[in-house]
């Protein structure tokens, strides 16, 4: 029995050092990154039992991804190996203001894009509490759109909690196509996690966070809506409103902070309640900002210590 199963692509991550541009860089930092595996690793490090399902090319790059995820205690027994396709790659050009951080994806025709619903052992869904998916996976191919839709249906059929992080990526698909996919999937989702910006962009829903969440809940009949609003904090709504302030942090690497938030929320929700979820989510996101790389090397003690210190400051 596992607590969470997640499905998605993990890529090789190549990034510049010392704020160099990609054009001037002579060497790049070599690691891995992927939203769903980031969440899986975070949850595993927090003490939960997690399974990550994906499709990897059977070569050195695929094996590096597999080993890096597995070493954090994530169950990788349902990963599909293939000679077809390739391992996706993405490049990050870190920058100091006023230059923006730039991301270049090179993931077309990846092994994950060939992943068909019939290749998944859906019976493993019977042995979990929650299935977590993201809006990134559906952008990769028609196969992946069908895979995500099938995963939500299989989850609901087995009466499992289905969590979905909207995670809209403009570089992977346009708003019209993404919106259609989200509208097909969200009626099967129990927990929707999204940024305020993505909700405005994809669905054209604007206003105060509480109004946005009410409209989303009415539109998709989603049980729980979680909305992150940057420095304004995070909100959750299940008929009742919840709010948590952000924890100030020195930014070293913001990439993966949203995944750390999601992991913190799911951990808090599954072990306690929604209110703990957004509190833990904010703490995890804040800590991730201080850690380079996609993966948040955070332990439960780190998260609790930050929350306790912040509460002490407020009480004084």
| Mean per-residue pLDDT, 65-72 | 98
So what's the pLDDT on residue 310? 63
pLDDT digits (tens, 9 = 90+) for 128-144: 999 999 999 999 999 99
Which residues does 82 contact at the CB level (< 8 Å), separation at least 6?
55, 56, 57, 58, 111, 114
Distance from C-alpha of 149 to C-alpha of 141, rounded to nearest angstrom? 13
pLDDT at residue 73 greater than cutoff 80 = yes
Per-position DSSP letters for 50-82, written without gaps between them: EEEE-EEESSHHHHHHHHHHHTTT-B-TTPEEE
Average confidence score pLDDT of the chain: 96
> Known catalytic residue: 259?
yes
pLDDT digits (tens, 9 = 90+) for 147-162: 999 999 999 999 999 9
| Mean per-residue pLDDT, 16-23 | 96
Per-position DSSP letters for 222-240, written without gaps between them: -SEEEEE-GGG-EEEESSS
Tokens representing 263 are 């992991």
Nearest C-alpha neighbor of 151 from the set 134, 173, 172, 167: 134
The pTM for the full model equals: 0.96
| Mean per-residue pLDDT, 103-121 | 97
CA 201 to each of CA 130, 156, 178, 212, 271: distance values in angstroms, whole numbers, following the listed order = 28, 28, 11, 12, 32
How far, rounded to the nearest angstrom, does the alpha carbon of residue 62 sit from its chain's CA centroid?
20
Which range marks the domain in which residue 7 is found? 2-315
So what's the pLDDT on residue 309? 82
Backbone angles phi, psi at 169, to 5 degrees: -120, 105
pLDDT at residue 178 greater than cutoff 80 = yes
Strands (E), the chain: 2-7, 11-15, 29-33, 50-53, 55-57, 80-82, 89-93, 102-106, 128-134, 161-165, 191-195, 224-228, 234-237, 241-244
**CATH code (residue 231):** 3.40.1190.20
Nearest C-alpha neighbor of 226 from the set 272, 165, 179: 165
Number of domains comprising the chain: 1
Which residues does 152 contact at the CB level (< 8 Å), separation at least 6?
131, 133, 162, 164, 185, 188, 189
Q: Which of 75, 198, 253, 259 is catalytic?
A: 259
What percent of the chain is modeled with pLDDT above 90? 97
pLDDT at residue 180 greater than cutoff 70 = yes
User: Rg of the chain's alpha carbons, rounded to an integer?
Assistant: 19
Backbone angles phi, psi at 218, to 5 degrees: -70, -40
So what's the pLDDT on residue 313? 45
| Mean per-residue pLDDT, 290-312 | 89
So what's the pLDDT on residue 314? 39
Tokens representing 310 are 């912040």
| Mean per-residue pLDDT, 104-115 | 97
């Amino acid at each position: 029995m596992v607590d969470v199963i997640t499905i998605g692509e993990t890529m090789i991550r190549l990034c510049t050092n010392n704020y160099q541009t990609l054009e001037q860089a002579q060497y790049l930092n070599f690691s891995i990154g992927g939203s769903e595996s980031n969440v899986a690793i975070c949850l595993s490090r927090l003490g939960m039992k997690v399974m990550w399902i994906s499709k990897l090319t059977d070569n050195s790059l695929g094996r590096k991804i597999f080993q890096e995820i597995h070493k954090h205690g994530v169950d990788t027994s349902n990963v599909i190996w293939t000679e077809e396709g390739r391992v996706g790659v993405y490049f990050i050009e870190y920058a100091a203001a006023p230059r923006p951080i730039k991301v270049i994806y090179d993931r077309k025709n990846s092994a994950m894009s060939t992943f068909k619903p019939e290749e998944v052992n859906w019976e493993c869904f019977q042995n979990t509490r929650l299935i977590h998916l993201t809006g990134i996976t559906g952008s990769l191919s028609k196969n992946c759109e069908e895979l995500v839709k099938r995963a939500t249906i299989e989850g609901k059929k087995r009466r499992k909690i289905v969590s979905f992080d909207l995670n809209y990526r403009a570089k992977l698909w346009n708003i019209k196509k993404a919106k259609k996919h989200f509208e097909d999937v969200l009626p099967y989702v129990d927990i929707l996690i999204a940024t305020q910006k993505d909700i405005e962009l994809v669905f054209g829903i604007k206003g105060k966070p509480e109004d946005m969440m009410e409209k989303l809940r009415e539109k998709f009949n989603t049980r729980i809506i979680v909305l992150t609003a940057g420095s304004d904090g995070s909100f959750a709504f299940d008929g009742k409103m919840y709010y948590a302030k952000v924890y100030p942090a020195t930014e070293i690497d913001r990439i993966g902070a949203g995944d750390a938030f999601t992991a913190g929320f799911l951990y808090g929700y599954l072990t306690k309640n929604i209110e703990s979820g957004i509190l833990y989510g904010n703490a995890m996101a804040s800590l991730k900002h201080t850690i380079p790389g996609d993966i948040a090397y955070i332990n439960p003690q780190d998260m609790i210590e930050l929350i306790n210190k912040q509460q002490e400051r407020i009480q004084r």
